[in-house]
Amino acid sequence: MTDPSDQPTQIMPTAVGDDAAADAAPAAAATPAAGTAADRTYPVDPARTLQTVHDILATSATFTLDREDAQNGVVEFHDFDDARYTLAVAASAQGGTELRMSSVGDRDGRRGAEFYATLDRHMTMTMAAPAAGPTTAGAANGTADTRRLSKAAVLAVIVAVPFLLLSFISLDLYTWGLLVFFTVLPAALSAIAMYTTRRSGPRRGRVLAYVAAGITAVAVVLGAGGIIWSGIKEKADHEALEKELAEERAAMCASDYEWPTTGMGALLPAPQSTKGEVSSESSDYLYVEVCGVDDAAWNDYVKAVQGKGFTVDYSKTDDHFSADDANGNHVSLSLDSDEKIMSVTVSAPDEEDGTDDASSDNSSTDTGDTSADTGTTTTDGSAADQPAPSTSADGVDPTFKDAMDSYESMMNEYVDFMTKYDQDGQPLSMAADYAQIMVKYSDAMQKLDAIDENSLSDAELQYYLEVTARVAQKLATVAQ
């Protein structure tokens, strides 16, 4: 095909209809003879010129297409004044296209000139377009498509496949935020691939673009379905658990119990209600649930417990009471006002408490003596038992450092993957490796999300800046 720069557009005078013919009733204009001078000559093949004419007439507010004969290169149309035009499109001897137009009813030729002015503008853009257009047209006519395969289409498939696999493997993997995160990249690549592989686009691979878009859509549907299914399942499990608890409470409140008169039960008065259950009983522990206890019965029972000597270090609210007696026995009462169920817990003091008190007294005496002799040991002996510091020697919390190191390791692996992917010609076999990286990315992000950014020390903030700078530097090598 002739290059547009070698053969500029030739602007020819527009044919003006005869005044006498214009005064007559409008009729179809005769097809211009091939031997007459061309109105326009464009260095573009006739097929593209006919397509441009068709596009103009299909969207014009002035002209309306009447008939189109692409095989013979004839187009008939009219304007809103009902002037009739016949345009003949033929191949030129130089390999371009010649146009000749006749009209009936276009008295001063203004409408014909307007049409050609519009066509000139469109043809200028058509000639400035890359050579992919003719190649695509050739492919449509059965000739080979010589355009390069779209990398975006291939990469879109590679990214979309792990996304789909993750959606298949675990339907309850995603939250709405994670689903959006995993959708962005394959959706963006698919959109780019669809655009670059369009009929007049610079790349081939339209089928791959459709496949990537389809895989992404299926993965999104599966992911969204999984989220909805997980929500429904969680709600159903919660309702089933509540129903089971309600049934257990109903069965408990329908049965009688006998208040223990030995062990820890002997320390407390028996409640007025006999409905409930002794859930746990031993020589040093008792747990009882009593049904049918309203606010008045609750207050009466608390007073009765206090009357048994449980007044040491007591705490009382509308639905909770706790206290110790003189021997260190501890009681805890709680009331569920809605269910009218009172929980009673009473326990003996731990043997270690008395031992610890004695040890504490001896330790105080011993350390006091030691302090008198050496002047270096504190009276409570705590100097030798200081807890280990929560930060490392450089002032960085180990948990924070582990999260940042995990993030840097994952990003380094991603950079290595992309480098190998580009060097090996973007093989589809690397899809599994990409899926593993995505799993590691999710794990690293969870660790980072667990960090309170407002609590970072100066050393931790410095380490954060160092890691992010190294990661950015590595990512820059992939973008080059």
| 202 and 310 fall within a common domain | no
31 three-class SS: coil
Residue 140 falls within a domain, yes or no? no
Percent of the chain with pLDDT over 70: 77
How many domains is the chain built from?
Answer: 5
Choice among 69-73, 206-210, 299-303, 411-415 with the minimum mean pLDDT = 411-415
Predicted local distance difference test score (pLDDT) of residue 79: 92
Residues 123 and 17 in one domain: yes
Task: Please give the pLDDT value at position 332.
Answer: 92
pLDDT value for 350: 75
- Same domain, residue pair 30 and 92: yes
Instruction: Tell me, yes or no, whether 135 lies in a domain.
Output: no
Q: What is the pLDDT of residue 473?
A: 77
* Residue 253 is assigned to a structural domain of this protein: no
**pLDDT of residue 391 exceeding 80:** no
Instruction: Name which of 156-170, 428-442, 453-467 the model is least confident about.
Output: 428-442
How do residues 160-174 score in pLDDT, each as one tens digit? 999 888 888 876 677
pLDDT of residue 75: 94
Q: Are the C-beta atoms of residues 459 and 394 closer than 8 Å to each other?
A: yes
The CATH number of the domain where 324 resides is what?
A: 3.30.310
On whether residue 3 sits in a domain, the answer given is no
**How sure is the predictor about 326, in pLDDT bands with cuts at 50, 70 and 90?**
very high
SS3 83: coil
pLDDT at 19: 44
My answer on whether 328 and 226 are in the same domain is: no
The residue ranking higher by pLDDT, 159 or 457, is 159
Over residues 205-216, the mean pLDDT reads: 93
- State the DSSP string of 375-393: S-S-TTSGGGGPPPPSS-T
**Which residues span the domain enclosing 370?**
352-379
Residue type, 409: S
pLDDT at 389 over 50: no
Specify whether 339 is located in the same domain as 356.
no
- Structural contact between residues 340 and 292, judged by C-beta atoms closer than 8 angstroms: yes
| Same-domain status, 124 and 32 | yes
Residue 49 and residue 480: Cα distance in Å, rounded?
A: 40
DSSP-assigned states of every residue in 448-467: HHTS-GGG--HHHHHHHHHH
**Residue 107 shares a structural domain with residue 159:** no
Average pLDDT, the chain: 79
pLDDT of residue 142: 47
Q: Find residue 333's DSSP bridge partners.
A: 321, 344
Together in a domain, 344 and 360: no
Which of 98, 129, 160 finishes a domain?
Answer: 129
User: What pLDDT is recorded for position 139?
Assistant: 45
178 and 105 share a domain? no
157 located within any domain: yes
pLDDT, residue 129, reads 58
Q: Please check whether residue 440 lies inside any domain of the structure.
A: yes
Q: Count other C-beta atoms under 10 Å from residue 280's C-beta.
A: 10
Q: How far apart are the first and last CA of the chain?
A: 35
| Edge-to-edge strands, sheet with 320-324 | 276-281, 285-291, 341-347, 330-336, 320-324, 312-316
pLDDT recorded at residue 449: 77
Residue 283 lies in a domain: yes
Q: Which residue has the higher pLDDT, 297 or 386?
A: 297
Q: Does residue 447 carry a pLDDT above 50?
A: yes
Task: Give the model's pLDDT for residue 144.
Answer: 58
Residue 216 has pLDDT above 90, yes or no: yes
Q: Tell me, what's the pLDDT at 479?
A: 55
Distance, in Å, from the CA atom of 441 to the CA atom of 99, rounded to the nearest integer, reads 61
How confident is residue 119, by pLDDT bands cut at 50, 70 and 90?
very high
Structure tokens at 239: 């309702």
Mean pLDDT calculated for residue range 317-340: 91
Residue 256 included in any domain: no
Picking from 7-11, 122-126, 216-220, 322-326, which range would have the lowest pLDDT averaged per residue? Answer: 7-11
Q: Are residues 26 and 80 in the same domain?
A: yes
Question: Where residue 366 falls among pLDDT bands split at 50, 70, 90?
Answer: very low
In sequence order, the 6+-apart residues with CB closer than 8 A to the CB of 111 are 62, 63, 79, 81, 83, 85, 103
> Do 416 and 430 have their domain in common?
yes
The pLDDT score that the predictor gives to residue 352 is 55
Residue 207 scores a pLDDT above 80: yes
Its pTM stands at 0.36
> Using 50, 70 and 90 to split pLDDT, how confident is the model at 14?
very low
Does one domain contain both 154 and 227? yes
Nearest of 330, 322, 326, 325 to residue 347 by alpha carbon:
330
